[in-house]
Homo-oligomer: A and B are copies of this chain.
């Protein structure tokens, strides 16, 4: 056995244990008995401790020094193992423990503060989290930019400045589009009741339509839909409410995008660092292109309209065009997770600028609410009415997720690049989608993006697939054209 073989065998076991930890998370959100929560916390802590010990095992450093693979795959594996190892050993154990303890408590404090509409009650906890995360960022950055070091956890090989350049280019055009669209009369909204079992049935059909392999996956319900796992066990969740079947259907399609990425990775990478989606941004590019560019297209919604009529009978929408307008309605709103394609990225850019300033020390926690509300008014045109609709709406900061938000919009940007290339590669895409056939699109995505897993860096992955340097113009052009046509701009 060479040092490389030893390292990869060790890594394979670590990946298998990581899959187990991920599946515990799935279990917790879907089937776990409510009363099991305290014991589950201990179980999670125990497996995380095992994983941490393996990721920082001194033998990894020795193997990394001694290994000398000659092939590109081996070198990419080493690149990722080295990145993970160095990240792990840079953070002192007592700091990692303090972050785990403080964020666990802060999440509860945040939930209560949001329920009470009491920003002040959350600020002490947030201050603690920010201080610890800045300390962690400094340990990771080793003299470099703290926020860049945090982004690295979710979108490796990408800096805050690169993201800022993209976002600063997007913001004025999105603000202008949003303003133009919101002056227009709103489309119809659904008013009926939609049986939840029937929703789940059509949900499963949609998942299969988008190429989800139920032989290595399953669909359950969860409060917040998610996708989980890699390799041969990739599960998705969705949710149902009687009055809003679109929530169920588009949650399903979105999660299928994530799951199809994991299911589409070259099996040769299974249980290795290359055997998972390469970044949150590229992951989100798959979920978004499935959900939006494909799932909310005029052609596909025409097919979906027929499916819904078959499933629910007449549900108050007259024809395909009205259905398309309803699916793509743009409405005033405060909540990121409920935002449409036009407004979603504005929510993200707001958070990106604020959290980057917090990490840089340019914004103090005590000034956060004012900064949030000022920025919201500037970009959306109306004022935040209460903290739960403003700076208390997201869980992320309470649990220490800084550097995560921008990956949502990077995913949209990447999806824009991919969609532009896809339209060229599959000229009859609209005809296929109008027949409920996504195979042209999903096959192209699997071959050009998904199969590569972590082999290329995120930007390389998108650049190679789309044939262009990743940037926001394709997304902006797509949005302006789509909503320009929908709203007669």
Q: List the interface of chain A (C-beta within 8 A of B).
A: 12-13, 16-17, 19-20, 23-24, 27, 31-40, 42-43, 45-47, 49-50, 213-218, 231-233, 235, 270-271
**A46 to chain B: which residues have CB within 8 Å?**
13, 16-17, 20
Select A27's contact among B27, B35, B271, beta carbons within 8 Å: B27
Most chain B CB atoms below 10 A, which of A17, A34, A43, A271: A43
State how many angstroms separate the Cβ of A36 from the closest Cβ of chain B: 4
Q: A17-B47, A39-B19 are in contact. Are A218 and B33 (CB under 8 A)?
A: yes
CB pair B16–A232 under 8 Å, yes or no, is no
CB pair B39–A271 under 8 Å, yes or no, is yes
How far, in whole Å, are A42 and B50 apart by their CA atoms in the complex?
Answer: 16
Select A33's contact among B35, B49, B214, beta carbons within 8 Å: B214
Q: Which 5 A-B pairs have the closest CB atoms?
A: A36-B233, A16-B46, A35-B215, A39-B232, A35-B216
Select A39's contact among B32, B36, B231, beta carbons within 8 Å: B231
Most chain B CB atoms below 10 A, which of A23, A37, A46, A216: A46
**A34 to chain B: which residues have CB within 8 Å?**
215
How far, in whole Å, are A20 and B27 apart by their CA atoms in the complex?
Answer: 11
**A31 to chain B: which residues have CB within 8 Å?**
31, 218
Most chain B CB atoms below 10 A, which of A32, A33, A34, A217: A33
How far, in whole Å, are A115 and B353 apart by their CA atoms in the complex?
Answer: 66
CB pair A12–B42 under 8 Å, yes or no, is yes
**A12 to chain B: which residues have CB within 8 Å?**
42
CB pair A20–B47 under 8 Å, yes or no, is yes
CB pair B20–A215 under 8 Å, yes or no, is no
Most chain B CB atoms below 10 A, which of A32, A36, A37, A49: A36
**A16 to chain B: which residues have CB within 8 Å?**
39, 42-43, 45-47
Closest to A235 in B: B33
How far, in whole Å, are A10 and B135 apart by their CA atoms in the complex?
Answer: 30
Most chain B CB atoms below 10 A, which of A16, A213, A270: A16
How far, in whole Å, are A232 and B270 apart by their CA atoms in the complex?
Answer: 33
State how many angstroms separate the Cβ of A170 from the closest Cβ of chain B: 39
CB pair A42–B271 under 8 Å, yes or no, is yes
CB pair A232–B36 under 8 Å, yes or no, is yes
**A49 to chain B: which residues have CB within 8 Å?**
13
**A45 to chain B: which residues have CB within 8 Å?**
16
CB pair B27–A216 under 8 Å, yes or no, is no
**A217 to chain B: which residues have CB within 8 Å?**
33
Q: Could you list 28 examples of A-B contacts with CB < 8 Å? A: A16-B39, A16-B42, A16-B43, A16-B45, A17-B43, A19-B39, A20-B20, A20-B43, A20-B46, A23-B24, A23-B27, A27-B27, A31-B218, A33-B214, A33-B215, A33-B218, A33-B232, A33-B233, A34-B215, A35-B216, A35-B232, A36-B233, A38-B232, A39-B231, A39-B232, A39-B270, A42-B271, A50-B50
CB pair A216–B23 under 8 Å, yes or no, is no
4 additional contacts (CB under 8 A) given A36-B232, A39-B232:
A16-B39, A16-B46, A16-B47, A32-B233
How far, in whole Å, are A215 and B43 apart by their CA atoms in the complex?
Answer: 18
CB pair A213–B271 under 8 Å, yes or no, is no
State how many angstroms separate the Cβ of A426 from the closest Cβ of chain B: 28
Most chain B CB atoms below 10 A, which of A27, A38, A49: A27
How far, in whole Å, are A12 and B46 apart by their CA atoms in the complex?
Answer: 9
